[in-house]
Amino acid sequence: MKFKIDENLPTEFAAILREASFEAATVAEEDLSGTADSAVLDRCRVETRVLVTLDLDFANVQAHPPGTHAGIIVFRSKLQDKLTLISLLKRVLPVLRRRSPEGQLWIVQPDRIRYREV
């Protein structure tokens, strides 16, 4: 499974995903920082990468319906410090080994993961 880490998340996300045997690239590594959301999502489609982000605009299923993209994982937490976000990612890793977010929208919260599928 391949992931693209949005610029609003810690760059450590890519390393953590790689250590878990996933392929991961950051928006910054690909010189996409400051690029419009639509361009980032288009790049994810072309590369068949699941976008991992804090940006709630990507959680809008009317604008980005499941099945029209490679997958989106939006992290939602009142606390958005690096340690909290990394902790949330580590909670998601076992789920990623059992279930693919490809073509789906996942909302990751401290107490649950919500899934939106086609």
Classify the phi-psi angles of 34: left when phi > 0, otherwise alpha if psi is within -120 to 50, otherwise beta.
left
- Residue 6 CA neighbour count, 13 Å, CB half: 23
Cα gap 9→81, rounded to integer Å = 9
pTM of the entire predicted model: 0.95
Domain borders along the chain are: 2-116
Q: What is the pLDDT of residue 51?
A: 98
- pLDDT at position 21 over 90: yes
Is-contact 23 2, C-beta < 8 A? yes
Q: What is the pLDDT of residue 100?
A: 95
Cα gap 20→112, rounded to integer Å = 21
The sign one gets for the Cα dihedral 64, 38, 71, 52 is negative
Cα gap 64→103, rounded to integer Å = 10
What does each C-alpha distance from 84 to 12, 39, 96 come to in angstroms?
12, 28, 19
Read off the pLDDT of each residue in 19-38 and give the average, rounded to a whole number.
Answer: 92
